[in-house]
Amino acid sequence: MAEKYVYNFKEGKKEMKELLGGKGANLAEMTKLSLPVPPGFTLTTESCKRFLSEGQTIWASLDNEIESHLKELEQITNKKFSDRENPLLLSVRSGAAHSMPGMMDTILNLGLNDRSVIGLAKTTANERFAYDSYRRFIQMFSDVVLEIPKVHFETIIEKTKKKKGVELDKELDGNDLKEIVKKYKEVYLRETKEEFPQEPIVQLRLAIKAVFASWNNPRAVFYREMQGISKLNGTAVTIQAMIFGNKGDSSGTGVVFTRNPLNGDKKLFGEFLLNAQGEDVVAGIRTPNEIAELKVLMPKGYQQLKEAAKTLENHYKDMQDIEFTIEDNTFYLLQTRNGKRTAQAAICIAVDLHKEGKITKEEALMRVKPQQLEQLLHPNFALKAIEQATHIAKGLAASPGAASGRICFTAEAVEAAYEKGIKTILVRQETSPEDISGMVKAEGILTARGGMTSHAAVVARGMGKCCVAGCSEVTINEEEKTLKYKGGILYEGDLLSLDGSTGMVYLDDIEKTKPALGGKFTELMGWVDEIKTMAVRANADTPEDAKQALEFKAEGIGLIRTEHMFFKEDRISSVRRVILAGTVQERAKALGELLPMQKDDFYQIYQVVEERPVTIRLLDPPLHEFIPVKAEEIRQLAETMSLSEEKLKDRITELNEVNPMLGHRGVRLGITYPEISRMQVRAIMEAALEFKIISKIEVQPEIMVPLISDVKELVYIKKEIEDEIKKVFIEKGQTLTYHIGTMIEVPRAALTADKIAKEADFFSFGTNDLTQMGFGFSRDDSGSFISEYIEKNILEKGPFDTIDQEGIGQLVKIAIEKGRQAKPNFKIGICGEHGGDPASIEFFQQLGLNYVSCSPFRVPIARLAAAQAAIK
Amino acid sequence: MAEKYVYNFKEGKKEMKELLGGKGANLAEMTKLSLPVPPGFTLTTESCKRFLSEGQTIWASLDNEIESHLKELEQITNKKFSDRENPLLLSVRSGAAHSMPGMMDTILNLGLNDRSVIGLAKTTANERFAYDSYRRFIQMFSDVVLEIPKVHFETIIEKTKKKKGVELDKELDGNDLKEIVKKYKEVYLRETKEEFPQEPIVQLRLAIKAVFASWNNPRAVFYREMQGISKLNGTAVTIQAMIFGNKGDSSGTGVVFTRNPLNGDKKLFGEFLLNAQGEDVVAGIRTPNEIAELKVLMPKGYQQLKEAAKTLENHYKDMQDIEFTIEDNTFYLLQTRNGKRTAQAAICIAVDLHKEGKITKEEALMRVKPQQLEQLLHPNFALKAIEQATHIAKGLAASPGAASGRICFTAEAVEAAYEKGIKTILVRQETSPEDISGMVKAEGILTARGGMTSHAAVVARGMGKCCVAGCSEVTINEEEKTLKYKGGILYEGDLLSLDGSTGMVYLDDIEKTKPALGGKFTELMGWVDEIKTMAVRANADTPEDAKQALEFKAEGIGLIRTEHMFFKEDRISSVRRVILAGTVQERAKALGELLPMQKDDFYQIYQVVEERPVTIRLLDPPLHEFIPVKAEEIRQLAETMSLSEEKLKDRITELNEVNPMLGHRGVRLGITYPEISRMQVRAIMEAALEFKIISKIEVQPEIMVPLISDVKELVYIKKEIEDEIKKVFIEKGQTLTYHIGTMIEVPRAALTADKIAKEADFFSFGTNDLTQMGFGFSRDDSGSFISEYIEKNILEKGPFDTIDQEGIGQLVKIAIEKGRQAKPNFKIGICGEHGGDPASIEFFQQLGLNYVSCSPFRVPIARLAAAQAAIK
């Protein structure tokens, strides 16, 4: 028996997503729930895979399956292909296992030809509708299957309207459209040298092949890459009897969310268009009505929609994004899927669904993407600044957040500016999948057309990117590259600000503030702490950072980069004298000046962090980072040091390194200049003891040695550290518990972690450096080729964003195994930037790390990711 | 029963070196062979270990053991401690398992006191001798045990001689020496506030403690570090009845090698002094007689020496370095050990011993240190240059080779100059262990005093360093820092040249040539090829290098660095235009110019290498290495490129990288500029095909991709390479077998080697980069701290000299295991500089590498090391 490649809707279910795609599986599921779904069937993703691997041909047994399903469809619908009386028409849609909005191509009204158009006109008693459908079909088919430029068709309509002296498409009548169909077919003949195919089965085969082939079109490949989707077979193809939302004013089509995807309110949210086909809503060509209006215009349809929404939400236990069509007052569901939502809505819906008893706390936690929280945590416009800002227009608040940047009218311009570090706002008439690469890199997106479910709005929300859509108050000329508003005109490069939460558009850059986080956020994050097993600390270099981190419930400080303190204006001169000192005495003097300042730094942080653990890393960067480069600064410094400029310049030149990242830094500094480490250790301990005396609180200092590559380095510096601590204890007549541990950030340290663990109280992975050295990628220099690597599909993701499990992950694993082999309950954390990346956090949970540490604003993200990792 | 810590000579044997030290074990062995050895016993290295770990105290049971052995010694010698008639005197000498010349301290004549000196005078009927021995003992004991400066004692002798109006020590008589002893004891009292100890057992205990403690003196620690000796317990102490070579003209002492340690001739080689104690020869204070003269002066002693030498050589099956003393015409052996020798002598002796049937070929091969071959392979002075050179003096040809450099009078000055990259000649009156660190870093060593077995000569030969010793024709004033010769004076910093093979000293720097390698070298290297299993290739970038390598019997070329060809004057301008091209067309044009040149490079190398494998690495370094820096060059280049200087400078700035070693280089260049790789591949294949047509010889090109970190990089570039090769094959209508492989030099590549192996035809380890990234040590920048690391005992050796087995070695192991797991018979080699390092080669043999590749001059060293590794 031949393998089965086609399933009708009654044969499938929602669990068969991998095989039937999201659309096909959900249509089958809705059919099972006895919801009104037009009948149809689905070609599996396996068939796509076979099609692509067999030279893009359809094999005989698949042809047979398709034909027998078509027959079945004719029977169910009691319609016939090419029928002059009551023809069967089809929609052909792609659908992969993961939702890829706008990526794949759809063909409606398939089956129309010179005969069946007459039948359609008859059954609908609407010739205009029939020929409008036919011309749409020809246009879509030509575009999707044969890539004939749309402009050829659009010109014909424009000319016809001009000739007739009308402005809108709907002012054209049946005869106009008949004429248009004729001209469309001429275009088709001219462009392809063949007649437009009349046989529905031929149309269908071509359409199926086009959808299959589109799996590998560059846009789709880019989207999958961007989303890290790599293991799918291909797309399924769903073929379904057509339902017409454009049969007149008793018909319509719409898209609705079962709850508000912006804020989570439990209320239908969406839009519809009367007398329109589904694509008109999504494409954003006409600005649609709010869903509430449907209640007035079609009370029965609205009621059915409401009930279906409830059924679906109860069944799927999540907010649904539903497409529906009403044909002659009969309601049909065309699609359901879990709806995309803002972070705020995701939290609200998850908390509400749990409270409604529909999902567990764990399920609720899994419903919020940690990465999405960034939307909530990121700043909004400062109120005062808004009052003074120049408001120029208002559009739809399509995706919340605040963004400022320079206007770019093309994705290319955005990308070019991004390379130069310039922030941009992408301004488009409406966006399309071709714009995605630019949308990723823009701060925000402004469109003049399209609604809340337009491409721009949906994609921006998915990305957590600020977006104002359908802002018809402005006129965008993409060719002239101008944005005209009431009272002015802007050009590419001008500054613009968007408020995606209000839809407001402002001139210039506007000051931003951090957002207040609401009660449901707090509630959800409370559950996070019940469930997660890994601690979350923050990287903080100042008392302010530490305070912010604790507000976000960091459980300690995982990394203080003491060198950041050295850059402050009041101490950089002393730091420079430490580095450039010619004698030990000179160095000691300058260190003596630094000691009270550094001590005060720690004291202030202790006041915030109190009894929580606080990891302090000793000086790490190459010394020349502190050195003046400007002639005037050098002159001044030479004067302070009573040194000739010549001599000072020589010393500065000596400090220059070819590869500073692999040079004289980290513990290497401590070994060659132990007096610097000793000053730092003294500051750490004196501050801790003084704080203890005043506050009665014991801080938990963890002194961390950077850049260890061999255990002997640690032994050496530990002796220095312990010796200095002993001195401080004796001087102060007090002691304090402390720990001395090490970064694991050099590959060799990971490989010899068993020996290092014996001398260390803890490990903290520095995955930035580990990635730099493990890959041989300089973070400062690899930007240029990493982006090319991602484009050329050599890398899936930048290894500095998400940890490379395959390679660098092995080093992390080896170090943990060897470390715990030496000391079974050894404390191990991570303080590289991967500590705030959800995918990396999941990996760290699997490896059994004790904590992750990340920047303060990522702490909530890390906490949620840690909880999700624990649940998984 | 208490543990045994003391062994008399009859209880030991040569295999007990670890326990009894080299000296003790060999004295025991000679005793077993019934050779004339003064009786004695040895305190084990275990006792030293216990002594050092127990706070430097001697425990009761050890005291008892010592006492009972002393009693036994009294019985055997029929002498008594402190006897007024016939006192027992002892020598106390250190001796670890490994020979450490000059490192540890020795005390002679122990047991002398105010009573026994009278006994000694009586039995020897020589009062002068007795008091001379006593004063020597006080002086040595004071120096070694109590560190009383020698100068106090020397001043007394000088004053006495002055007072008496004589010049030489031997002109002082018994009464003078009695007086001197009195004054010596006064010095001792003044310096220590105690009387000189009279009780022999007290003297002995103090001496033993001093020897034990000296194990940890800084000189000894430094020597062990330099030699990589780390696993020893401590030193043994050998206590032996004194024999006197200074009893008059029927006594003497000497050091002799059983064969010539300079050239290997089978003839006794050495020196002796009449009426002297052993230390006088080694210390180089008096210039001794050649050993042949002993035959005339003491025929019986000479005969005994000759027989003993033969017995020992037959027994030890190696050339021996023997210390002997003749007391009143009675011959005694005091020490034997395998003699140090030059490379030439090592080869000659090894080949001869095998031919004499004493050792196998394998044993013969193990007798030559691969590193030593460098002496043979390194240049000598050019004959013509020598003719024109200004000869200023002649000394002893103590260690062969030719050296030029700037005069330094102290080890410190040598080290300081070395840091600045300045070559030096260390010039000393005589050297001492304090000078070793300077000797290591000097090009050559010149001493004014001392013989062929003086400290300078022995140590220099061990190091394979050029040395002219005992050059009494010059006057060296270390304080004034002058070297006076007949006709002139030289100062610190002046240029000097030494010929260690002739003993000649010249002014200025002299041109050097490479040496001719003799027949025994060829014979030995023939055996090497019979035995070794790992192939040895050479790294060569030019036909000349390749030719040199094949002369040294390289079996192929393991690395051509194609970039070195790019630096040639006739092509650098094209290279620069490739790099700085603004358009693909411009780049193509410049590449077109490079193609014929690069092709010619390969063609010429193929002519030399012929059918042997030749590995060609594609462009590796960061592009900015090729970029002009001088203003004039930039101006010219801008002109050639019809570009403004401004624009060119911008482009140059863009190319600058913060960490070029981790930047845009290696395969990353090939991926971003595939046209460069294609040009190189085309040159490789076109040259190979053209050579094949003309010569009928098929070359074996192995195209090597550098800096792979992920298999996908290799997949990408392989497609480009294979595509270009196909084109060339079609154009030429010919094909050729080729291989495409990759460097393993990025840690991540080692960790994912299983995947990479599937796409590669071979691996070649780039252990330089692997070390850089694995340690996080920039080769360019780590010099400063690596030397401090070695000083502070954090690193044993520079990891760029000898591969770090513990850490980097793990990456190598992992890569080999994973690579061979994917492809069982996968070809794996190494082309980093470790490929020429014997210790690293042994490691690579253990790991099962197929070949090592190194610079041409190291090929013989690598071959011998490979053979030794195979034997081991």
Give whole-number Cα distances, B688 to A557, B601, B607, B732, B762, in Å.
Answer: 62, 11, 10, 11, 20
DSSP B342-381: -HHHHHHHHHHHHHTTSS-HHHHHHTS-GGGHHHHHS-EE
Catalytically active residues of B, by annotation: 455, 831
The conformational region for residue A823 under phi > 0 = left, psi -120 to 50 = alpha, else beta, is beta
Handedness of CA A717, A721, A724, A730 (dihedral sign): negative
- Beta carbons of A807 and B752 less than 8 Å apart: yes
Nearest CA in chain B to A793: B712
- Beta carbons of B807 and A751 less than 8 Å apart: yes
Question: What SS3 class is residue A591?
Answer: helix
Residue type, B51: F
- Residue A533 has a pLDDT of 95
Q: Which two tokens stand for residue B109?
A: 């004549």
CA pair distance A706, A714, nearest whole angstrom:
10
Counting one residue from chain A and one from chain B, the pairs whose CB atoms sit within 8 A come to 168
How far does the CA of residue A723 sit from the closest CA of chain B (Å)?
Answer: 17
Q: Which residues of B are annotated as a binding site?
A: 561, 617, 745, 766-769
Q: Which residues of B are annotated as a binding site for Mg(2+)?
A: 745, 769
**Whether the Cβ atoms of residue A363 and residue A354 lie closer than 8 Å to each other:** yes
Identify which has the larger pLDDT, B791 or B778: B778
- Beta carbons of A781 and B661 less than 8 Å apart: no
Going by DSSP bridges, is the β-strand pair A396-399/B475-477 parallel, antiparallel, or unpaired?
unpaired
Q: Give the model's confidence band at B547: pLDDT under 50 very low, under 70 low, under 90 confident, else very high.
A: very high
Task: Supply the angle between the helices B543-551 and B584-609 in degrees, to the nearest 10.
Answer: 30
Instruction: List, in order of start, the domains of chain B with CATH numbers.
Output: 6-244 (3.30.1490.20), 245-341 (3.30.470.20), 378-513 (3.50.30.10), 532-621+665-871 (3.20.20.60), 632-662 (no CATH)
Contact residues for A98 (Cβ-Cβ < 8 A; gap 6+): A22, A227, A229, A232
Identify which has the larger pLDDT, A69 or B452: A69
Chain A residues within 8 A of B673 when measuring between CB atoms = none
- Residue B495 has a pLDDT of 95
- Beta carbons of B777 and A808 less than 8 Å apart: no
CA pair distance B310, A138, nearest whole angstrom:
109
Q: In this complex, which of B745, B747, B804 lies closest to A774 when CB atoms are compared?
A: B747
Going by DSSP bridges, is the β-strand pair A106-110/B762-765 parallel, antiparallel, or unpaired?
unpaired
Contact residues for B347 (Cβ-Cβ < 8 A; gap 6+): B264, B368, B376, B518, B520, B521, B524
- Beta carbons of A774 and B810 less than 8 Å apart: no
Contact residues for B342 (Cβ-Cβ < 8 A; gap 6+): B261, B262, B263, B372, B375, B399, B400, B461, B464
Instruction: Using the structure block, give the residue that is written with the tokens 């059918």.
Output: B611
Which of A214-223, A243-252, B4-13 has the highest mean predicted lDDT (pLDDT)? Answer: B4-13
* CB-count burial class (<10 Å; 0-12, 13-18, 19+) for A86: middle
Task: Supply the angle between the helices B767-775 and A767-775 in degrees, to the nearest 10.
Answer: 180
Nearest CA in chain B to A771: B748
A660: nearest Cα among A619, A686, A625: A625
Q: Which residues of A are annotated as a binding site for Mg(2+)?
A: 745, 769
CA pair distance A863, A869, nearest whole angstrom:
10
Q: In this complex, which of B745, B746, B776 lies closest to A662 when CB atoms are compared?
A: B776
CA pair distance A735, A737, nearest whole angstrom:
7
Q: Which two tokens stand for residue A729?
A: 């204890």
pLDDT tens for A717-765 read 999 999 999 999 999 999 999 999 999 999 999 999 999 999 999 999 9
DSSP B618-650: ---S-GGGGS--SHHHHHHHHHHTT--HHHHHH
The conformational region for residue A79 under phi > 0 = left, psi -120 to 50 = alpha, else beta, is beta
CA pair distance A749, A388, nearest whole angstrom:
55
How far does the CA of residue B36 sit from the closest CA of chain A (Å)?
Answer: 49
- Residue A378 has a pLDDT of 66
**Whether the Cβ atoms of residue A256 and residue A269 lie closer than 8 Å to each other:** yes
Chain A residues within 8 A of B651 when measuring between CB atoms = none
Q: Give the model's confidence band at A519: pLDDT under 50 very low, under 70 low, under 90 confident, else very high.
A: confident
**Percentage of chain B with pLDDT > 90?**
60
pLDDT tens for B577-608 read 898 887 888 899 999 999 999 999 999 999 99
What rounded mean pLDDT belongs to chain B? 89
CA pair distance B625, B647, nearest whole angstrom:
19
The lowest-confidence range among A324-338, B7-21, B381-395 is B381-395
CA pair distance A602, A614, nearest whole angstrom:
10
Nearest CA in chain B to A769: B776
Q: What is the helix (H) or strand (E) element at residue A110, kind and residue range?
A: strand A106-110
Question: What SS3 class is residue B259?
Answer: coil
**Residue A777 reports pLDDT greater than 90:** yes
- Residue B704 has a pLDDT of 98
Give whole-number Cα distances, A853 to A601, A617, A826, B406, in Å.
Answer: 20, 13, 17, 56
Q: In this complex, which of B748, B752, B772 lies closest to A662 when CB atoms are compared?
A: B772
DSSP-derived letter for residue B80 is B
CA pair distance A481, A412, nearest whole angstrom:
13
Provide the terminal-to-terminal Cα distance of chain A, rounded to the nearest Å.
Answer: 40
Q: In this complex, which of A781, A804, A811 lies closest to B658 when CB atoms are compared?
A: A781
A279: nearest Cα among A140, A95, A433, A88: A140
Phi, psi of B716 (to 5 degrees): -65, -50
Chain A residues within 8 A of B780 when measuring between CB atoms = 657-659
**Residue B18 reports pLDDT greater than 70:** yes
Q: Does ipTM surpass 0.90 in this model? A: no
Q: Which two tokens stand for residue A358?
A: 């529909």
User: What is the reported pTM?
Assistant: 0.76
Q: What is the 3-state secondary structure (H, E, C) of B422-460?
A: CCEEEEECCCCHHHHHHHHHCCEEEECCCCCCCHHHHHH
CA pair distance B290, A287, nearest whole angstrom:
113
Q: Which residues of A are annotated as a binding site?
A: 561, 617, 745, 766-769
B770: nearest Cα among B798, B807, B741: B807
DSSP B479-490: TTTEEEETTEEE
How far does the CA of residue A722 sit from the closest CA of chain B (Å)?
Answer: 18
Going by DSSP bridges, is the β-strand pair B444-447/B424-428 parallel, antiparallel, or unpaired?
parallel
Q: What is the helix (H) or strand (E) element at residue B144, kind and residue range?
A: helix B127-146
* CB-count burial class (<10 Å; 0-12, 13-18, 19+) for A276: buried
- Residue A462 has a pLDDT of 56
Q: Which residues of B27-50 are buried (b: 16+ CB within 10 A; e: fewer)?
A: bbbbbbbebebbbbbbbbbbbbbb
- Beta carbons of B747 and A709 less than 8 Å apart: no
**Whether the Cβ atoms of residue A54 and residue A217 lie closer than 8 Å to each other:** no
DSSP A45-98: HHHHHHHHHTTS---HHHHHHHHHHHHHHHHHHT-BTT-SSSB--EEEEEE-SS
pLDDT tens for A159-171 read 999 999 888 777 8
Torsion of CA A222, A227, A228, A232, to 10 degrees: -80
Phi, psi of B130 (to 5 degrees): -60, -45
- Residue A630 has a pLDDT of 75
pLDDT tens for A218-239 read 777 766 766 667 777 889 999 9
Chain A residues within 8 A of B781 when measuring between CB atoms = 657-660, 662-664
Q: What is the 3-state secondary structure (H, E, C) of A468-531?
A: EECCCCCEEECCCCEEEECCEEEECCCEEEEECCCCEEEECCCCEECCCCCHHHHHHHHHHHHH
**Residue B515 reports pLDDT greater than 70:** no
- Beta carbons of B662 and A789 less than 8 Å apart: no
How far does the CA of residue A840 sit from the closest CA of chain B (Å)?
Answer: 18
Torsion of CA A283, A286, A291, A293, to 10 degrees: -170
Nearest CA in chain A to B794: A712
Q: In this complex, which of A662, A746, A810 lies closest to B659 when CB atoms are compared?
A: A662
**Residue A448 reports pLDDT greater than 70:** yes
**Percentage of chain B with pLDDT > 70?**
95
How far does the CA of residue B51 sit from the closest CA of chain A (Å)?
Answer: 25
**Percentage of chain A with pLDDT > 70?**
95
pLDDT tens for B648-690 read 887 787 788 889 899 999 999 999 999 999 999 999 999 999 9
* CB-count burial class (<10 Å; 0-12, 13-18, 19+) for B456: buried
**Residue B833 reports pLDDT greater than 80:** no
Q: In this complex, which of B707, B780, B808 lies closest to A776 when CB atoms are compared?
A: B707
- Beta carbons of B662 and A793 less than 8 Å apart: no
How many of the other CB atoms lie within 10 Å of CB of A596? 12
- Residue B450 has a pLDDT of 72
CA pair distance A279, A133, nearest whole angstrom:
13
- Residue A2 has a pLDDT of 64
CA pair distance A709, B785, nearest whole angstrom:
13
Average of per-residue pLDDT across B705-715: 96
pLDDT tens for B852-866 read 999 887 899 999 999
Q: Which two tokens stand for residue A532?
A: 């997660």
DSSP-derived letter for residue B676 is H
- Beta carbons of B672 and A751 less than 8 Å apart: no
Chain A residues within 8 A of B775 when measuring between CB atoms = 709, 746, 748
How far does the CA of residue B635 sit from the closest CA of chain A (Å)?
Answer: 26
pLDDT tens for B188-246 read 999 999 999 999 999 999 999 988 888 887 777 766 766 667 777 889 999 999 988 87
Q: Which residues of B735-751 are buried (b: 16+ CB within 10 A; e: fewer)?
A: ebebebbbbbbbbbbbb
